[in-house]
């Protein structure tokens, strides 16, 4: 099974409600779809969103990086040579993580298809059912409380609360939501780099003193501020999770050695794909550090790949934040990963099992 071509498409899916964070507001998913074709007729699918404020990737840069730097290296390569192919992808261009991730996802999809088995089994097996949290966008307090109650009524037992815009209002937001869902759902905070280190300690201490129990706080300060992360981790009881502070394996090692975070958030769009995500999970396990598997605003192509990885590495990936498809107005993908509210389950079909992608717009 040799790679013969790589093609591109766009997939646009409206969100149920606008997605609001401290960094941006988004009303629909608009992702680049990568289609890797082979001489046997098998096709692998990958996906990458434009997340310029986080990874630096835009639709144009994703397509150009793959078309000019990655694709020429992969044409004619045999899918069985997985390690060689992932090495070629990772060495093709500096950074451009989302572009690399999209191609790697498609290649891993094909590798599993080659052996006629679901991707998670190729990655090590596991119980093919996991549960995800759901994001509550930053908004007026009453709206966030209502959204939280609605999510609990839909079966979600863990809520990720977006904060990071106004420290005083953030504290009141979290208190109100906690009072509304206490005993019914766990709360995770995601500050999206919106606080300073001292603000984070102040806010978390205020919440802890008020009796609010949080499962974790995600990336309270700028991604480059490892000293700030360490400052917070040393001063609060709430576990601190690194997101934008860790992209690749080396950064994870540095962060763990500094004791700058308690948990590592793995996202395929940050790691450059599945191969580095596996390395990060293995490093974290070595140091007895838990991981979360997360996603950007993605559909059930790349999120499906993340779900397969989460199942295979469930002993270290103990937290799941794969709510991208749940935030979409509909699921355009017919594949082997089913997103049913909080439950994500994987069927026993090869690779990602993608049979159809509705609304795909092919690019020349």
Per-residue pLDDT tens for 27-57?
999 999 999 999 999 999 999 999 988 899 9
Q: Per the residue annotation, which of 121, 162, 165, 319 is the catalytic one?
A: 162
Residue 133 CB neighbour total at 10 angstroms: 26
Per-residue pLDDT of the chain (364 residues), as tens digits, is 999 999 999 999 999 988 888 777 889 999 999 999 999 999 999 999 999 888 999 999 999 999 999 999 999 999 999 999 999 999 999 999 999 999 999 999 999 999 999 999 999 999 999 999 999 999 999 999 999 999 999 999 999 999 988 999 999 999 999 999 999 999 999 999 999 999 999 999 999 999 999 999 999 999 999 999 999 999 999 999 999 999 999 999 999 999 999 999 999 999 999 999 999 999 999 999 999 999 999 999 999 999 999 999 999 999 999 999 999 999 999 999 999 999 999 999 999 999 999 999 999 8
Q: What is the CATH number of domain 3-116+358-362?
A: 3.30.390.10
Phi-psi region for residue 189, left (φ > 0), alpha (ψ -120 to 50) or beta? Answer: beta
Q: Is 323 annotated as a binding residue?
A: yes
Strands 263-267 and 186-190, sheet pairing: unpaired
Q: Known catalytic residue: 146?
A: no
Kindly report the average pLDDT of the chain as a whole number: 97
The span from the CA of 358 to the CA of 364, in Å, is 18
Question: DSSP letters along 3-63, please?
Answer: EEEEEEEEEEEEEEEEEE-SS-EEEEEEEEEEEEEETTS-EEEEEEE-BTTTT-B-HHHHH
Q: Residue 98: name the closest of 138, 142, 135, 53 by CA.
A: 53
Q: Is 160 annotated as a binding residue?
A: yes
Please list, residue by residue across 82-106, b when 16 or more beta carbons sit within 10 angstroms of its beta carbon and e when fewer do. beebbebbbebbeebbbbbbbbbbb
Residues of the chain with CATH 3.30.390.10: 3-116+358-362
Of the CA atoms within 13 Å of residue 258, those in its CB half-sphere come to 21
Phi-psi region for residue 341, left (φ > 0), alpha (ψ -120 to 50) or beta? Answer: left
Q: Known catalytic residue: 100?
A: no
The span from the CA of 138 to the CA of 216, in Å, is 17
Percent helix, strand, coil in the chain (nearest 5)? 40, 25, 35
Q: Per the residue annotation, which of 20, 121, 267, 319 is the catalytic one?
A: 267
* Sequence-separated (6 or more) residues with CB below 8 Å from residue 245: 219, 223, 224, 225, 226, 229, 251, 255, 260, 261
The span from the CA of 91 to the CA of 326, in Å, is 34
Q: Is 24 annotated as a binding residue?
A: yes
Q: Is 218 annotated as a binding residue?
A: yes
Q: Token pair for residue 172?
A: 């009141």
Residues of the chain with CATH 3.20.20.120: 121-357
The span from the CA of 275 to the CA of 271, in Å, is 8
Structure confidence at residue 19 (pLDDT): 86
Q: Is 297 annotated as a binding residue?
A: yes
pLDDT in tens, 300-323: 999 999 999 999 999 999 999 999
Q: Is 150 annotated as a binding residue?
A: no
The span from the CA of 49 to the CA of 356, in Å, is 19
Q: Is 262 annotated as a binding residue?
A: no
The span from the CA of 203 to the CA of 198, in Å, is 9
In contact, 337 and 304? CB cutoff 8 Å: yes
Superfamily designation of domain 121-357? Enolase-like C-terminal domain (3.20.20.120)
């Amino acid at each position: 099974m040799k790679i013969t071509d790589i093609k591109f498409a766009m997939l646009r899916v409206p969100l149920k409600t606008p997605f609001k964070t401290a960094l941006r507001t988004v009303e629909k998913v608009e992702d680049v779809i990568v289609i890797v074709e082979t001489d046997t007729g098998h096709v692998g699918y990958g996906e990458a969103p434009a997340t310029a404020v986080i990874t630096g990737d835009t639709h144009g840069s994703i397509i150009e990086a793959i078309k000019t730097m990655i694709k020429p290296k992969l044409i004619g390569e045999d899918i069985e040579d997985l390690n060689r192919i992932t090495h070629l992808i990772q060495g093709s261009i500096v950074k451009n993580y989302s572009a690399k991730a999209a191609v790697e996802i498609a290649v891993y999809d094909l590798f599993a298809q080659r052996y006629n088995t679901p991707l998670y089994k190729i990655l090590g097996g596991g119980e093919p059912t996991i549960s995800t949290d759901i994001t509550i966008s930053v908004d007026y307090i009453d709206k966030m409380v209502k959204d939280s109650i609605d999510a609990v009524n839909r079966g979600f037992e863990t809520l990720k609360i977006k904060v990071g815009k106004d420290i005083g209002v953030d504290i009141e937001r979290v208190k109100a939501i906690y009072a509304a869902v206490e005993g019914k759902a766990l709360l995770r905070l995601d500050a999206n780099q919106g606080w300073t280190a001292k603000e984070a300690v102040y806010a978390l201490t205020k919440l802890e003193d008020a009796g609010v129990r949080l499962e974790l706080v995600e990336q309270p300060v700028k991604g480059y501020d490892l000293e700030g992360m360490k400052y917070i981790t040393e001063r609060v009881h709430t576990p601190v999770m690194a997101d934008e502070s860790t992209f690749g394996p080396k950064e994870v090692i540095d962060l763990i050695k500094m004791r700058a975070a308690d948990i590592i958030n793995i996202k395929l769009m940050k790691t450059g794909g599945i191969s580095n995500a596996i390395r990060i999970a293995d490093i974290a396990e070595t140091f007895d550090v838990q991981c979360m598997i997360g996603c950007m605003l993605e559909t059930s192509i790349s999120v499906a790949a993340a779900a397969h990885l989460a199942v295979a590495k469930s002993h270290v990936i103990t937290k799941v934040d794969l709510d991208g498809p749940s935030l979409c107005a509909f699921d355009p993908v017919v594949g082997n990963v089913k997103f049913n509210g909080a439950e994500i389950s994987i069927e026993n079909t090869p690779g990602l099992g993608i049979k159809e992608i509705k609304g795909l717009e092919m690019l020349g």
